C-alpha cells in the first residue's frame, strides 16, 4: 500500500511540476466552460420562448442541460485522456528510470496501480473543474442532484477505464507521441463502436454496442446505476490493468 502511494505521489508530482497538468486543466476548463455556457444559454432562450408563446413546454434542466453536457464532456475527455496516460510508462522507458522502479523492492502490480491511480487523480482534477461549472446550474437553477452525482460517477468510471488501457498502450513504446496517438485511436474506436447501432440490431451490433465506452454512460446521466454498466466499466479497468501487468512483465523477457 505504501509503495503504491509512493509511486502515485511521484507521478502526480511530475504531472504538476511539468506543464502537462496545467495545460490539460486549462484546455478542459475552457472547453467544459464553453459547453456549459452554450447549452445553458440555449436552454434559457428556449424557456423564455416557451413562456413568451404562452403555451409552456415542459422544461427540465436535468434532461436538457445536464444530460447533453455529460455526453459532450465524455467526448472531450476521450481526446484528453490519451494525453494523461501516454507518459505513464513510455517516459520511464525513455529516461531509463524504469530500471530504477523494476530493480526496487516493489511489485509490478504496485507500480502499475500507483501510476494508474495518479492518472485517475489527475483526471479527477479535471472533473473538479467540471463540478465548478455545474455549481452555477445549482446556483441559478434547481436541478435534481442524484442524476448529477451518478453522471459524475459514470464519467469518472469511463475515464478510469480508458486510463487503464492508456497505461497498457504506454508500456508498448518508449515514445510518448506514439503512445498518445495509439491511445487516441483506441479511445476513438471504443467510442464509435456504438455508432454501429444505426446498422440494425443484429447480435454483432449488440455486442459492439456493449463494448463501446460511451453507450454505458447514458444510464448514469439519467440517474440510474445499472449493474450491467457498472460491471462493464469495472471489467474494462481490470482488463486494461491486467494487460499492463502482462506487458510490463514481458518487457523483462524482451528487453
Partner 1 sequence: MIQVDGLSKKYGRHVAVDHISFSVEKGDIVGFLGPNGAGKTTTMRILTCFLPPSGGRATVAGFDVFEQPFEVKKRTGYLPESPPLYPEMSVEDYLTFVARLKSVPSREVKQRVEQVMERCSVGDVKGKLISKLSKGYRQRVGLAQAIIHNPDVLILDEPTSGLDPKQINETRELIRDLSGAHTIILSTHILSEVEAVCKTVIIINRGRLVATDSVEHLKQRGAGNAIQVQIDTDGTGDLSAVRQRLEQVAGVSKVIEKPRNGTPFVFEVQSLPGRNVRADIARAVVHAGWNLLELKALTSTLEEIYLSLTGAVAEQPPVSEQPEPTVETVGGTK
* Residues of the shown chain interacting with partner 1 in the complex, contacts defined by CB under 8 A: 2-3, 6-7, 9-10, 13-14, 17-18, 95-107, 252-253, 255
| In the complex, least distance from residue 95 CB atom to partner 1, rounded to whole angstroms | 7
Residue nearer to partner 1 on the CB measure, 3 or 50: 3
Residue nearer to partner 1 on the CB measure, 7 or 88: 7
| In the complex, least distance from residue 92 CB atom to partner 1, rounded to whole angstroms | 9
| In the complex, least distance from residue 173 CB atom to partner 1, rounded to whole angstroms | 19
On whether the CB atoms of residues 118 and 65 are closer than 8 A, the answer is no
| In the complex, least distance from residue 198 CB atom to partner 1, rounded to whole angstroms | 46
Residue nearer to partner 1 on the CB measure, 11 or 229: 11
Residue nearer to partner 1 on the CB measure, 22 or 199: 22
How far, in Å, CA of 59 to CA of 147, rounded? 16
Residues 6+ apart with CB under 8 A from 163: 81, 84, 85, 116, 119, 120, 123, 240
Which class for 33: exposed (0-12), middle (13-18), buried (19 or more C-beta within 10 A)? middle
Q: Contacts by 177-185 with C-beta closer than 8 Å and gap 24+?
A: 177/86, 178/90, 179/82, 179/85, 179/86, 179/87, 179/89, 179/90, 180/82, 180/83, 180/86, 181/82, 183/81, 183/82, 183/85, 183/86, 184/79, 184/82
| In the complex, least distance from residue 237 CB atom to partner 1, rounded to whole angstroms | 25
| In the complex, least distance from residue 7 CB atom to partner 1, rounded to whole angstroms | 7
CB atoms closer than 10 angstroms to residue 106: 16
Residue nearer to partner 1 on the CB measure, 45 or 107: 107
Residue nearer to partner 1 on the CB measure, 98 or 155: 98
Amino acid at each position: 500500500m505504501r509503495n503504491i502511494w509512493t509511486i502515485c505521489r511521484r507521478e502526480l508530482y511530475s504531472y504538476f511540476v511539468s506543464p502537462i497538468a496545467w495545460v490539460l486543466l486549462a484546455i478542459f476548463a475552457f472547453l467544459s466552460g464553453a459547453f456549459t455556457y452554450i447549452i445553458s444559454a440555449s436552454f434559457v432562450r428556449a424557456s423564455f420562448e416557451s413562456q413568451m408563446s404562452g403555451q409552456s413546454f415542459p422544461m427540465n434542466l436535468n434532461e436538457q442541460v445536464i444530460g447533453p453536457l455529460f455526453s459532450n464532456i465524455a467526448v472531450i475527455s476521450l481526446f484528453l485522456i490519451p494525453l494523461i496516460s501516454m507518459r505513464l510508462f513510455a517516459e520511464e522507458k525513455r529516461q531509463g528510470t524504469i530500471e530504477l522502479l523494476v530493480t526496487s523492492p516493489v511489485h509490478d502490480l504496485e507500480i502499475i496501480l500507483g501510476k494508474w491511480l495518479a492518472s485517475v487523480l489527475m483526471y479527477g482534477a479535471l472533473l473538479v473543474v467540471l463540478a465548478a461549472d455545474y455549481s452555477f446550474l445549482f446556483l441559478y437553477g434547481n436541478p435534481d442532484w442524484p442524476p448529477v452525482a451518478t453522471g459524475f460517477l459514470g464519467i469518472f468510471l469511463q475515464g478510469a477505464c480508458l486510463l487503464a488501457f492508456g497505461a497498457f498502450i504506454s508500456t508498448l513504446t518508449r515514445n510518448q507521441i506514439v503512445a498518445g496517438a495509439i491511445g487516441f485511436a483506441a479511445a476513438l474506436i471504443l467510442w464509435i463502436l456504438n455508432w454501429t447501432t444505426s446498422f440494425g440490431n443484429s447480435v454483432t451490433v449488440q455486442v459492439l454496442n456493449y463494448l463501446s465506452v460511451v453507450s454505458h454512460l447514458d444510464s448514469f446521466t439519467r440517474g440510474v446505476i445499472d449493474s450491467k454498466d457498472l460491471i462493464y466499466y469495472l471489467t474494462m479497468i481490470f482488463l486494461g490493468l491486467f494487460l499492463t501487468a502482462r506487458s510490463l512483465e514481458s518487457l523483462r523477457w524482451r528487453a
